[in-house]
Structure 1
């Protein structure tokens, strides 16, 4: 049901009028409608219905009767309810069903809209009126008492609408209506002032002045006052012929919008949403970022979207802030003032006076100022209007941290999909070569400018294929030369930024180009620059401020710096070969010193023997922090050290190659970075062979064997370890000999050569008796204990594992104590002590999780899943195994993942879901059949046989179990007994 009170009080249902009864009943309804969804006391209704204070004794009963009749009227309406509420009543309905609430809502929307839209909304609001509010339901005195605020709101909307017409210079369309309104309300000075302005603009100045005289006379005669100061000032300005009173046709200076604009829709929405929020200060928003990102294009697109909100004009200027000669704010203000109608002869001389005049000229206007390519805050401040209805949009390569901003958007490169869309928008056939197109996107680093140049080249050179251009861009030496198209050039933007730097910044920019592409910390930059840490930090941040460097986060240092790929290429063009060599000489010394120090604090680090160069760096606290958090330092720096190994190898510096490789090898093993370990070991082996160094040869072969073993390349591992053992007698390092023998023993155990493994472990323990190396003794005990577990020798396994755990706990090594505890938990389960197994495995899992060892935590979860399966607790088994698989899928442990797949297969089979289970088992078997580990190959075939048997394939099951028996019995695994029982059953 719909209601109207802006005129006669009426109701409509489905578009048809509803009988609302006698006048007093309609009046009660009108009061309830004006207070919709609010409590209206009965006394209030009585007071208004009998305004002379002569309410009869029956007044309350009369009101109640009218309420009852209204309830009956609304009985069939689902959207209107009239209820008794305490000593009064409440009319519940959607307020938008009442014209007065729609009127207020439209007026509110109009206040936030542009003038064109404001006129539309206000005309829609005023059209709701059909005469005086509440007409036909009360005496004039009562009506005015209740409806006076509504009449004031109507006149306010009318004045606001007239004002919007005048701001748009459309006075001819409303002058007659305005004159009628001023005649009807001769004492409303705002209406009279608007009529004066309209008449003056229409060359009817005498009528405008006569209108003022009538107002003056009437106010004097009736009220004894003069017109308001603003109206008096308007009369004076009309008398003087002030040109600023005429319709303002503001500047429209926005450049054309960008063709093929792609992506950044969220950024654009956020940017435009910063304007028009009704604050008391102008909205100032900035877009910052490195050259070529499309800051100007984004600003222009946003400005075109915003233009309707700033109907009095849009100013645009390139401030040349990236170059050596940024524009003087005084010069820019002079241009702005001329554009705003100030004659050249009237321009003030000083900057301060120009700022004042600029703010005066923008004080009553809604203008958008686009300041492109700003140099700094000092250049910008004089160019910001004081009027809160103005807006300022800035682009800059600087971050502008000293400017009061409503919003700051720091741009990065386009996302790959948006970059590809931009490229294909310019040259659609690029989509036919997706691999080459993706490579072009990568090589352009997400820079819209680079992508536009490439796309335009492809469009204008149909003979050049996408593959050809991708190949040309792939060569770093020529990439910037390829990114040139007409008067557009990526290098030119970088040149402007470089030329704008101070001498110290330019030197830093050049030298930092020699840094690894993987990023660098401030201390490394200080070494490269030959500066103290504080000076280096200031230089780095100054380059970040102008968007020539970018920031990321590290594990050790909160901030790491890096170049955008194309900016790095430009910086390299400025770097001499002599400077590059000097930088790497300093960096290599630092990596050797700090790398050796960090490696010595790893669990199994500190094996290598060499004296590093001194650290030539003033960095208070760095050494202590490396000591405290060596793994995190290596996590940040290992990629750079690997790069340094490669550079040293290319330079033929064999000793440095071997030493750098040794500083990072233990960390690469700790984090399972097998490809990197293999790479540095190969380079180190070549260098050691060239030096004829038995020590470094043995060390390199050990690392090669370790990387091969952990990736299940057992042939390479066996060959590398055998060669290492051959040179060990000449290496002169008893501990290295133990470590290599231990590694060989682990390989034998994985390959099922358990007697040989036992001999190596026993030999290691014998040698360790004369060495002060408790950690390596504990590790040997652990590996020996695992071997006893495999053989079902539970007492021996517990003895060795318990001693290993005790040693690790004495050393404070929580991670390896937990890893050894995992093995002990499995022994408990194999012995049938499930409670001890769960307790031990749960504690080990938590300790490994706390230590951040995801790979071993997942292995422990897998064991907990196996224990739960054995106990028949299938939901818990599934939860543990699924979590293990999820963690392992994020690591490089393919073997562990395959083992988890086999377990999941067994669990799903037990759950009655053989199809899902078989899929898991097949994935596990596929890997383990080729892994070279006969024990796990046999165990996976044991599970496969169970699935085949459950599916009714007895022959297939028997074949799988026979293969499992062959593997497990040959090596002496205790699981062979389980297989034998199945074959004999």
Structure 2
């Protein structure tokens, strides 16, 4: 059973709305128990919340009656309310509560580092927010007591999302998302700072400075304080046209494809480019070296390398959004294939690595079909049955082709301890990667290592 508490109260089962509780207070009581799912809620607390500290003499008896009615209404759907230790408890398992899902997704977003992953998790959380907690059941006093932490978490999640979007140059989306929130929360400095930055990067310097003045007035009126040092510094940089206010720095040797940063293609073959999605193979794993940080990056990379077409990638991204757990598992497979392929190409005697790549290539072959293109030429293509694994199968097939090609004997690895990226050297004279892909070293510095 599914319960929606963020916005108007709603109970659903099998995709249909279910009527639970004939009275507003009954539904409110159920919501109070759902917010504390898995924990005992003392009856005194329920009484206090339902009547806002001014209960009638028969309040406890009324609560008992409400619980009885709710038990009857919920029984067909497998949800139960237990009496425990002077209170009531609804089990945490067997049903979904949007408030709990929102909280979990928001906390997950705060724990990840990559901006694209953070945006995805923030979106997952914010998509659950249909409005204020119990919009049709709770008055402002009760909502202030129950939902303040949720409201704060929602705004924090909006700020995290805006920060991640700014970090990847998507300031236009930040402007669209934060203007309504800034009007509602003019004294929230972090939110205002992100919006000021987005406005400035959109060529709206005057609007950014006007927003600062509105926030300064709101802080003075509501709290009797001035804007903090970070917001004041931001104002000064906007006035001065400080270069640090411009778009975020592009990652070294990166290309923007859709919403993903991918490394420059320097290997000369898709199988080598797969290996090169991790910088620093030859030494300690540097922060930020991993390019395949999420399934969307893998799918977009496959299209960028010509291993999948754009409609296929669109479909894969939709499937990944519907099943993020499966998408994460496929991403792990891609990284395993990458490590085995790298070992194959740098050590011809590594039989284990070769066999691991071979097994994946055989799996790809079983899902391949021979099709005719619009130009009349035939080609091998992967069946839709490959599902989310299509990029892995495509990369494995490309790897098998390279391993059967004499060009594999011309593959070189940059010997720098901070590089190790692979490239095809037809001349036999190149020793170092051509664009210092070792993460910021110049070619001379790379050579000295």
Aligned match of 1:104: 103
Q: Is the 8 A contact 1:122 1:157 kept in 2?
A: yes
Deviation at 1:28, TM superposition (A): 0.9
Aligned match of 1:46: 47
Q: Is the 8 A contact 2:106 2:153 kept in 1?
A: no
Aligned match of 2:246: 246
Aligned match of 1:456: 406
Aligned match of 1:305: 292
* Cα-to-partner distance string for 1:231-271 (whole Å, 9 max, x where unaligned): 01111111111111111241442453574859xx9xx9xx9
Q: Is the 8 A contact 2:26 2:66 kept in 1?
A: yes
Q: Is the 8 A contact 2:215 2:227 kept in 1?
A: yes
1:487 aligns with 2:437: no
Q: Which runs of 5+ in 2 are unaligned?
A: 254-262, 298-345, 361-401, 411-424, 433-449
Q: Is the 8 A contact 1:3 1:12 kept in 2?
A: yes
Within a 5 Å distance, the mapping from 1:570-581 to structure 2 comes to none
Deviation at 1:113, TM superposition (A): 5.7
Change in CA separation of 1:47 and 1:412 when aligned onto 2, cut-off 3 Å: farther
Of structures 1 and 2, the larger Rg is shown by: 1
Aligned match of 1:203: 203
Count of residue pairs brought into register by the alignment? 313
* Cα-to-partner distance string for 1:81-107 (whole Å, 9 max, x where unaligned): 211112111101437611111112222
Within a 5 Å distance, the mapping from 1:494-573 to structure 2 comes to none
Change in CA separation of 1:61 and 1:244 when aligned onto 2, cut-off 3 Å: same
Change in CA separation of 1:245 and 1:308 when aligned onto 2, cut-off 3 Å: farther
CA–CA distance in structure 2, aligned partners of residues 419 and 57 of structure 1: 78
Aligned match of 2:166: 166
TM-score by length of 2: 0.61
CA–CA distance in structure 2, aligned partners of residues 208 and 201 of structure 1: 10
Aligned match of 2:435: none
CA–CA distance in structure 1, aligned partners of residues 348 and 407 of structure 2: 20
Change in CA separation of 1:125 and 1:421 when aligned onto 2, cut-off 3 Å: closer
Within a 5 Å distance, the mapping from 1:1-12 to structure 2 comes to 1-12=1-12
CA–CA distance in structure 1, aligned partners of residues 132 and 147 of structure 2: 9
Aligned match of 1:287: 282
Within a 5 Å distance, the mapping from 1:821-840 to structure 2 comes to none
Aligned match of 2:139: 139
Deviation at 1:116, TM superposition (A): 2.8
Deviation at 1:222, TM superposition (A): 3.1
CA–CA distance in structure 2, aligned partners of residues 458 and 56 of structure 1: 83
Q: Is the 8 A contact 1:5 1:133 kept in 2?
A: yes
CA–CA distance in structure 2, aligned partners of residues 457 and 166 of structure 1: 42
Change in CA separation of 1:454 and 1:137 when aligned onto 2, cut-off 3 Å: closer
TM-score by length of 1: 0.29
CA–CA distance in structure 1, aligned partners of residues 353 and 174 of structure 2: 49
Aligned match of 1:76: 76
CA–CA distance in structure 2, aligned partners of residues 122 and 421 of structure 1: 36
Highest RCO, 1 vs 2 (Cα 8 Å, sep ≥ 6): 2
Q: Is the 8 A contact 1:23 1:138 kept in 2?
A: no
* 3-state SS of 2:282 partner: strand
* 3-state SS of 1:26 partner: helix
1:124 aligns with 2:111: no
CA–CA distance in structure 1, aligned partners of residues 113 and 155 of structure 2: 19
Change in CA separation of 1:70 and 1:135 when aligned onto 2, cut-off 3 Å: same
CA–CA distance in structure 2, aligned partners of residues 414 and 113 of structure 1: 37
Within a 5 Å distance, the mapping from 1:196-275 to structure 2 comes to 196-253=196-253, 254=263, 256-257=266-267, 259=269
Q: 2:350 aligns with which of 394, 412, 415?
A: 415
Change in CA separation of 1:190 and 1:95 when aligned onto 2, cut-off 3 Å: farther
CA–CA distance in structure 1, aligned partners of residues 217 and 181 of structure 2: 18
Deviation at 1:416, TM superposition (A): 1.7
Deviation at 1:228, TM superposition (A): 1.1
Aligned match of 1:668: none
* 3-state SS of 2:44 partner: helix
CA–CA distance in structure 2, aligned partners of residues 90 and 457 of structure 1: 67
Deviation at 1:149, TM superposition (A): 0.8
* Cα-to-partner distance string for 1:20-64 (whole Å, 9 max, x where unaligned): 221111111111111011111111101111223x32332111111
Aligned match of 1:29: 30
CA–CA distance in structure 2, aligned partners of residues 454 and 251 of structure 1: 34
* 3-state SS of 2:88 partner: strand
Change in CA separation of 1:257 and 1:36 when aligned onto 2, cut-off 3 Å: farther
Aligned match of 2:342: none
* 3-state SS of 2:292 partner: helix
Deviation at 1:459, TM superposition (A): 9.1
* Cα-to-partner distance string for 1:576-619 (whole Å, 9 max, x where unaligned): xxxxxxxxxxxxxxxxxxxxxxxxxxxxxxxxxxxxxxxxxxxx
Question: Hey, which of these two has a bigger chunk of helix by percent?
Answer: 1
Q: Is the 8 A contact 1:260 1:422 kept in 2?
A: no
* Cα-to-partner distance string for 1:473-495 (whole Å, 9 max, x where unaligned): xxxxxxxxxxx974169xx89xx
Deviation at 1:203, TM superposition (A): 1.8
Deviation at 1:123, TM superposition (A): 2.5
CA–CA distance in structure 1, aligned partners of residues 12 and 408 of structure 2: 66
CA–CA distance in structure 1, aligned partners of residues 24 and 66 of structure 2: 11
Deviation at 1:303, TM superposition (A): 4.1
CA–CA distance in structure 1, aligned partners of residues 407 and 122 of structure 2: 52
Deviation at 1:172, TM superposition (A): 1.9
Aligned match of 1:16: 16
Deviation at 1:165, TM superposition (A): 2.1
* 3-state SS of 1:94 partner: coil
Deviation at 1:140, TM superposition (A): 1.5
Aligned match of 1:676: none
* Cα-to-partner distance string for 1:313-347 (whole Å, 9 max, x where unaligned): xxxxxxxxxxxxxxxxxxxxxxxxxxxxxxxxxxx
CA–CA distance in structure 2, aligned partners of residues 77 and 31 of structure 1: 19
Aligned match of 2:445: none
Q: Which runs of 5+ in 1 are unaligned?
A: 273-283, 289-294, 311-410, 426-451, 461-483, 494-985
CA RMSD of aligned residues (A): 3.9
